[in-house]
């Protein structure tokens, strides 16, 4: 079965959206995934397209020229004090660019608040034809598959879904068999990468690995085939940030090798 691949922005975050689109096209990807909602982390580029009309124009032109599709935008985080309506301009731009999905994750321990916020984000995204995929992250507040499914059941929104990241799943302690109980329609795309075997000794080390030192597909300790075989035939978004390799190879060659490792793994 033919697999389709997207280049996730975190893999080459230093590249602006149009730069990412052109190099993804040259490397042979089917989709791109853009971080158009800035997280405000130290040193992180700001690609908030609705605030930068020229960058939006260039991004739209790059998609048209390459004929690549926008798979998803990120990251609609849920945190204390969030007003979900602040994400609406990003949803408008995503729809304008032909995007399909919005990635979300939870960074507050207030269960009633985050459940209400996620439900509202789904409602706000729906008029734009967008689904909202909830991701569990080992350094966030929702860190396991079970807790994520609890939120999805509670909100009961038809455009809500589950986004599993291979690295995060590996660190969560969940078993591959746990995926069998998830409704297949909740899977719309998957973050594919590999990671070193074993458990990081500190939160700081885990953060460093997940943001700067993920591995090519098939190179690390994750049993990716057992995960992917439980999913429908959905796009695989390659989120493989590796600062050292990107610097040594250049962004385009690094993105090409990320894709080739995935194709080789599933061949």
Q: Domains for the chain: give ranges and CATH numbers.
A: 5-266 (3.20.20.150)
Taking phi first (over 0 means left), then psi (-120 to 50 degrees means alpha), and beta for anything else, what does residue 50 get? alpha
Up-side HSE of residue 49: CA atoms within 13 Å toward CB?
Answer: 24
pLDDT at 239: 98
- Asked whether 103 and 133 are in contact (CB, 8 A), the reply is yes
pLDDT at 71: 98
pLDDT at 211: 84
pLDDT at 210: 72
Cis status of the peptide bond prior to 75, with omega within 30 of 0:
yes
CA–CA dist 81, 88 (Å, integer): 16
Neighbours of 42 (CB within 10 A): 4
Low-confidence ranges of the chain (pLDDT < 70): none
CA–CA dist 68, 127 (Å, integer): 23
């Amino acid at each position: 079965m033919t697999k389709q691949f997207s280049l996730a922005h975190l893999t080459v975050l230093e590249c602006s959206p149009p730069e990412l689109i052109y190099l993804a096209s040259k490397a042979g990807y089917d989709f791109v995934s853009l971080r158009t909602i800035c997280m405000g982390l130290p040193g992180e580029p700001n690609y908030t397209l609705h605030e930068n009309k020229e960058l939006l124009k260039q991004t739209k032109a790059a998609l048209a020229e390459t004929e690549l599709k926008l798979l998803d935008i990120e990251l609609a985080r849920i945190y204390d004090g969030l007003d979900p309506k602040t994400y609406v301009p990003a949803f408008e731009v995503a729809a304008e660019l032909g995007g399909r999905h919005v990635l979300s994750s939870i960074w507050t321990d207030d269960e009633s608040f985050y459940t209400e916020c996620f439900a509202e984000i789904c409602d706000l995204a729906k008029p734009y034809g967008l689904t909202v995929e909830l991701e569990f992250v080992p350094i966030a507040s929702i860190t396991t598959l079970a807790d994520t499914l609890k939120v999805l059941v509670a909100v009961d929104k038809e455009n809500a879904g589950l986004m599993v990241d291979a690295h995060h799943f590996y660190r969560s302690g969940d078993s591959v068999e746990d995926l069998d109980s998830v409704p297949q329609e909740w899977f719309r795309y998957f973050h594919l990468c590999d990671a070193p075997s074993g458990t990081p000794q500190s939160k700081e080390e885990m953060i460093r690995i997940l943001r700067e030192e993920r591995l090519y597909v098939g190179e690390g300790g994750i049993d990716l085939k057992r995960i992917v075989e439980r999913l429908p035939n959905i796009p695989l978004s390659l989120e493989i940030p590796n600062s050292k390799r990107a610097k040594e190879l250049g962004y385009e060659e690094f993105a090409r090798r990320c894709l080739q490792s995935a194709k080789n793994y599933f061949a």
